[in-house]
Amino acid sequence: MEQEDRVRCQVCGKQKRLAEVVPAAVVREALVRQMRDGRTEWDENGYICAEDLALARASYVEQLVTDEGGELGDLEQEVVASISEGDLIAEDTNETFEQQLSFGERLSDQIAAFGGSWRFISIFGAIIIVWIVANSLLSRFFDPYPFILLNLVLSCVAAMQAPIIMMSQNRQEDKDRLRASHDYQVNLKAELEIRQIQEKLDHLMNQQWQRLASIQEVQVDMLNELVRGGGRDSEG
């Protein structure tokens, strides 16, 4: 009984269970042509195992990308691997990028975010006003007019804030590049899978059309027999 439940894969030649194979009749014509070019004997009534079908799909997608864009890069190879293995390629790029940040990078981002907020402007403006008023109205204060110490403090704050903001902007550019690369991978995979679906639909429509044509031929033969039978009855 176990031997009867096994069939031969016409690509690798191994005996596989029925749950591990796909009928050759449902394989897309483009994949069939590719396997025939690889000198694989193909029988529409045979079977192909899931592993060989996945390899054929990966090879077909790789050939498509190579023909359109030249040599495959790392991003294209990841897309081909995800299609052949059936994995999802979509991910949260923000979460991925945040996991790669160090403590110093997180701290600089928080400082840059605080330095570019109305809260910082309000607090810093209030400190400057209090500083000027206190040193102008009170006698013997630590920074009289023209507020040399205040100018020094403002210069130090600006000197420290500028590189922190630039570091945060550089990381934002890295995040944008990561997001753009991920969007390219998702769009490429979607385009290739849509093309595969279209080819599969065309293949199924051709099969359905051939079946309908065969049914019509049988119906025409039956009508001809009825007409001939009716003619003989009228002559009799």
pLDDT along the chain (236 residues), means of 10: 66 79 75 68 77 76 65 63 65 74 84 87 92 81 83 91 87 85 81 74 71 70 66 58
User: pTM of the prediction?
Assistant: 0.48
Q: pLDDT above 70 covers what percent of the chain? A: 70
Amino acid at residue number 136: S
Half-sphere exposure of 107 (CA within 13 A, CB side): 3
- 47 sits in which H/E element: strand 47-49
pLDDT at 126: 94
Placement of tokens 């093309």 in the chain: 195
8/45 Cα distance (integer angstroms) = 11
Placement of tokens 């690369």 in the chain: 181
pLDDT at 225: 62
pLDDT at 29: 72
What are φ and ψ of residue 27, in 5° steps?
Answer: -75, 140
196/186 Cα distance (integer angstroms) = 15
Alpha helices in the chain (DSSP H): 29-37, 50-69, 74-85, 93-99, 103-115, 118-137, 148-235
47 forms bridges with which residues in the sheet?
9, 23
183/95 Cα distance (integer angstroms) = 15
Question: Which sign, positive or negative, has the C-alpha torsion 121, 122, 124, 125?
Answer: positive
97/180 Cα distance (integer angstroms) = 13
Residue boundaries of the structural domains of the chain: 1-90, 93-172
pLDDT at 156: 92
